[in-house]
Amino acid sequence: MSTSIKRQKRNLGSHIILIAWSFIVLFPIWTLVINSFKTRLTIYENPFWIPKVWNFTNYATVLRDGDFITYFKNTFIVVTLSLALVSFFASLAAYAFARNKGKIYTLLYYFFIAGLMLPIKIASIRILDIVRSLGLLNTIWALPPIYIAMGLPVGIFILTTFIRDLPSALSEAAHIDGASSWQIYALVILPLIRSAMATVTIYNLIPFWNDLWFPLITINDESQKTLLLGVTRLFGQYQTDWSKVLAVLTLAAIPVLGLYLGMSSQFIKGVTAGSVKG
């Protein structure tokens, strides 16, 4: 009886902590959404409670008069292309590192992993020179190569660990049956690492979608700006219409939340993979 009581108390404590943490996480989202339905002045009356009168003109103004659709399209193209290429290149590299044990492969693996410890922003000046020399300045195509370089280290780290845990007998059996390396990669490895690739995608989605630094230093053309960079237009020198800013940020958060919710099960599988192996 005492054991069950202790277990119930422990579960109760865990639930209290999780509820408190959920409140901490959801409170900024609540504040963001409810204030996007207020006017510029009524935000300051009570920024943490629902508005007395719901104001939908912020969203109408942003969608009708602003360049939100253009910014969203640019961001969607850049982030989707970057995530797809990061997943593809990281899975190829991880497959090679996981199945080859030579010193060269080990050195290359640690070379990529070193990117986790070195922030890419320290090379901003050199990156800007490369972008200018390639003729990509003031275009959205300057961003995917940068984001691929940002996402490869963590992608290779996660996928290499995951592939190493797969039974090598699967690849050996496919090889005996006459499958080439590409066929083994496409037909055997990729279906088994979908959860890990979902983890890589979600892990890189947030920094890619919310990046402001690299669009700021590489893009000046209004038609090529990304979403977060376009939001800076709403910030004035002496005053800022926070209701419209929050409306844009709310719209910008919807795709991220939708993708996370849609891939959450795969993400959890990828994070917890190998944790129950005995």
Residue 2: the pLDDT is 59
Q: Kindly give, in sequence order, each residue whose CB lies less than 8 Å from that of residue 116, ignoring residues fewer than 6 positions away.
A: 153, 154, 157
* Domains in the chain, number: 1
| Model confidence pLDDT, tens digit, residues 136-152 | 999 999 999 999 999 99
Confidence of residue 277 (pLDDT cuts 50, 70, 90): very low
Distance between CA atoms of residues 94 and 158, nearest Å: 8
In a domain, 55, yes or no: no
Q: Kindly give, in sequence order, each residue whose CB lies less than 8 Å from that of residue 66, ignoring residues fewer than 6 positions away.
A: 230, 233, 244, 248
In a domain, 16, yes or no: no
Domain hosting residue 264, numbered range: 67-272
Distance between CA atoms of residues 10 and 59, nearest Å: 46
CATH of the domain at 118: 1.10.3720.10
DSSP string, 185-249: IIIIIHHHTHHHHHHHHHHHHHHHHT--HHHHHH---GGG--HHHHHGGGB-SS-B-HHHHHHHH
pTM, rounded to two decimals:
0.83
Model confidence at 276: pLDDT above 80: no
Measured in whole angstroms, how far is the alpha carbon of residue 256 from the centre of its chain?
8
Is the four-CA dihedral 90, 91, 93, 97 of positive or negative sign?
positive
Q: Kindly give, in sequence order, each residue whose CB lies less than 8 Å from that of residue 207, ignoring residues fewer than 6 positions away.
A: 150
Of 52-56, 247-251, 266-270, the least confident:
266-270
Return the C-alpha torsion angle 263, 266, 272, 274, nearest 10.
-160
| Model confidence pLDDT, tens digit, residues 4-49 | 666 666 777 788 888 998 899 889 889 989 999 988 888 888 888 8
Percent of the chain residues topping a pLDDT of 70 = 88
In a domain, 7, yes or no: no
Angle at CA 27, nearest 5°, toward 22 and 28? 120
In a domain, 40, yes or no: no
Short-list 65, 70, 53, 69, CA closest to 241: 65
DSSP-derived secondary structure letter, 119: -
At residue 218, φ and ψ (nearest 5 deg) are -115, -15
Contact status, residue 73 vs residue 252, Cβ threshold 8 Å: no
In a domain, 17, yes or no: no
In a domain, 31, yes or no: no
Q: What SS3 class is residue 55?
A: coil
In a domain, 178, yes or no: yes
Instruction: Give mean pLDDT, residues 201-230.
Output: 90
Distance between CA atoms of residues 159 and 196, nearest Å: 6
Residue positions counted in the chain: 278
Distance between CA atoms of residues 219 and 110, nearest Å: 33
Of 52-66, 71-85, 109-123, 182-196, the least confident:
52-66
Residue 239: the pLDDT is 62
In a domain, 233, yes or no: yes
